[in-house]
Amino acid sequence: MNILNFEDYIIPLDDWIETVVDWLVANYRSQFQLIKWPVEQTLGSIDWFLNVLPPIVVIILLALAAWRVSSWKLGVFTAVTMTFIGFLGLWEDSMTTLAMVLSAVVFCTIVGIPTGILAARSDRFEQVIRPVLDAMQTTPAFVYLVPVVMLFSIGTVAGVIATIVFAMPPIIRLTNLGIRQTPRELVEAAVAFGATPWQVLRRVQLPLAKATIMAGLNQTIMMSLSMVVIAALIGAGGLGVAVFQGLNSLQVGLAGIGGLAIVLLAIVLDRITQSMGKEVQK
């Protein structure tokens, strides 16, 4: 008897997964729609704010933010880059993409930093969550789209939810790492002076871990930007639509300017967040 005859002993894992997702959709779809609500409100507010402002105001605000956290050179670069994206005819798509990234980062930060703190304080919790984070980071981005569409339907909000799941691991990992790297002598000294665990966390560990946490935030933003493009496959708006339409209709130019705008936006966000991290280290 050949037990390695794979064709006769196939594990029906695909059927099991489909059964589980169908069961979730049939029994808990309303609960998943409740999860969708805060994401929808946050995304709608940020998207409205970015699109209701005149482009010149948004450009000036971004340039001032870049100048404030880094230098006038980054401010000028940001202003020129955003103006160039506008003249490509992709301003509204860029603002929608920026709103999706910011919305995803808000929820990744709200959930990711407390989870990273818990992981830093409990070895057992870290051991439990590590394989989950490994799976979240190594699972191909396209795989997220199927259950997200079934549970949250299609659209920009569903795209943001998929982005949140995809982009959350770096901020959890680096928050955990930053707190664990706090010198033990400083923690022991704080405890010796009567600090409570909350005071040790707030006044010693978090300030010293800020630079590492900012590095995690930078990685989360970059992963969010890469995922919002893929999310265009399920109806999410933004710059991913230009790339997707260009590929579908073989309009190389349209796909090219969409990709160029994404790269330029990524560079601006990367430089600003990197400068924020360096500012924290000073």
Q: Quick count: other Cβ atoms within 10 Å of Cβ 19? A: 11
Identify the pLDDT of residue 282.
Answer: 61
pLDDT value at 34 more than 60: yes
- CATH superfamily, with its number, for domain 38-53+91-279: MetI-like (1.10.3720.10)
Q: What is the pLDDT of residues 181-227, one digit of tens each?
A: 888 888 888 888 888 888 888 888 888 888 889 888 888 888 888 88
Highest mean pLDDT: which range of 5-9, 100-104, 139-143: 100-104
Report the chain's mean pLDDT, rounded to a whole number.
85
96/60 Cα distance (integer angstroms)? 18
Least Cα distance to 47 among 129, 88, 106 occurs for 106
The pLDDT of residue 82: 92
User: Is the C-alpha dihedral spanning 114, 119, 121, 125 positive or negative?
Assistant: positive
CA 260, chain centre distance (Å): 20
Place of tokens 């818990």: 118
Give the C-alpha separation, 163 to 104, whole Å.
6
3-state helix, strand, coil in the chain (%, to 5): 85, 0, 15
The pLDDT > 70 percentage for the chain reads 96
Query: Mean per-residue pLDDT for 58-69?
Result: 90
